[in-house]
Structure 1
Amino acid sequence: MSDVEPSPLPIRPVRTWPFWVPLVVTSALLALDQWTKVLAVSNLTFGQPVEVAIPGLLGFTLVYNTGAAWSLFQGSAFLLALLRFAVGVGLLVYMARRPQDRFHTVVFAIISAGAIGNAIDGIRQGKVTDMLSSPALDAVTRSINGQPFPIFNIADSCVVVGVILLLIASVVSSVRKPR
């Protein structure tokens, strides 16, 4: 007889929420993103700032973007839309196949909503509708690199917030692990 014990099967995390939860989170944020874009197009004048939301902190300026933030990849709206769509749907497929804890379920759903929201614009219009501006962030980026902070939308915010939450969780997780 052999003294070698069989290796245990890899343990997969137990799904803490049913798969419909990330679908609902993604759908709700996607609806909010698309609704705010419709409101912006029907109520704002292109390029004319309206700083009434939260003075000095948040305003509205309707612009269209055929690339990414800070004028990166201008004119690549359709290619970027396909990439964004692949990332958004890919995250949903990943969550369906590999159960996640509640935190990661929500964060991946938030990022997915952002990616799909801007993909819809790029595929449908060949450009992304942006309308949120921040004079405070503008001042910071102008002092760092002389460039204004990009005008953004709910979808952009979803991606940024999701990635920041993942980074914070990664740092916290590495600090908590015994060495």
Structure 2
Amino acid sequence: MQQPDLRDAAPAVRPRSFPVWVPVALAVLLLVADQWIKAWSIANLGLGGAPRPVVPGLLSLLLTYNTGAAWSLLSGSALPLAVGRLLVGIALLVYVVVRRQDRLTTFCLSLISAGAVGNAIDGLRQGKVTDMFYSPALSSVTRAINGSEFPIFNVADSCVVVGVILLLLGSFVRPRR
């Protein structure tokens, strides 16, 4: 049996990656935006006030706090959740800096890292996470499905959700290595 000649095989294509500073800069930029919007919301929105429409019917501002995770899961566990979020966020950022990834993976993990650290800061500093984005449109969908409101969320939550969704979608469309 003859061995294949590996010299004729196509060279492995290395995925294009970002410079090492890009994931750190992206995570820091998103973290600053998250913390600024949370501080602005605390200063300008009254707790328990009426929603302030930003895009009528689609997005409003409504200040609330959450001592748990999404949909108030593990409510009252702000400190352990904050420590876990901080460790995950830092670990993901270190991973993308140390182990070069393709651009999509780097982008997604940087988003998730920024979101995890953003909510960890709230949990460690206040014992609760500040949320301010309310979507009447998403709430109408969840009310139709299970009779409940869609959770009020923040920039950090959005970073985590968008990062995970893009990572999952990317895993279906990228060629296997």
TM (norm. structure 1) is 0.87
Give yes or no for contact 2:23–2:97 (8 Å, CA) kept in 1. Answer: no
State the one-letter code of the partner of 1:26: A
State the one-letter code of the partner of 2:172: V
Q: Give ranges in structure 1 of 5+ residues lacking alignment.
A: 4-10
Distance 2:172 2:145 in 1: 25
Give yes or no for contact 1:142–1:148 (8 Å, CA) kept in 2. Answer: yes
State the match for 2:34 in structure 1: 33
State the match for 1:116 in structure 2: 117
State the match for 1:6 in structure 2: none
Q: Give ranges in structure 2 of 5+ residues lacking alignment.
A: 4-11
Identity among equivalent pairs (%): 57
State the one-letter code of the partner of 1:123: L
SS of residue paired to 2:71: helix
State the match for 1:107 in structure 2: 108
State the match for 1:163 in structure 2: 164
Distance 1:57 1:51 in 2: 11
State the one-letter code of the partner of 1:67: G
Verify: 1:17 aligned to 2:18, yes or no: yes
1:8-157 → structure 2 map (5 Å cutoff)? 16-157=17-158
Distance 1:172 1:67 in 2: 34
Q: Deviations over 1:53-85 (max 9, x none)?
A: 000000011001000121210000000001111
Distance 2:170 2:17 in 1: 18
SS of residue paired to 1:59: strand
Alpha-carbon distance, 1:14 to partner: 6.4
Does 53-62 or 87-96 show the bigger shift? 87-96
State the one-letter code of the partner of 1:120: I
Give yes or no for contact 1:130–1:153 (8 Å, CA) kept in 2. Answer: yes
Alpha-carbon distance, 1:51 to partner: 3.3
Alpha-carbon distance, 1:15 to partner: 6.8
Alpha-carbon distance, 1:144 to partner: 0.7
Alpha-carbon RMSD: 1.8
SS of residue paired to 1:147: coil
TM (norm. structure 2) is 0.88
State the match for 1:8 in structure 2: none
Give yes or no for contact 1:15–1:99 (8 Å, CA) kept in 2. Answer: no
The 4+ residue runs of structure 1 with deviation greater than 3 A are none
Give yes or no for contact 1:67–1:77 (8 Å, CA) kept in 2. Answer: yes
Alpha-carbon distance, 1:106 to partner: 1.2
SS of residue paired to 2:62: strand
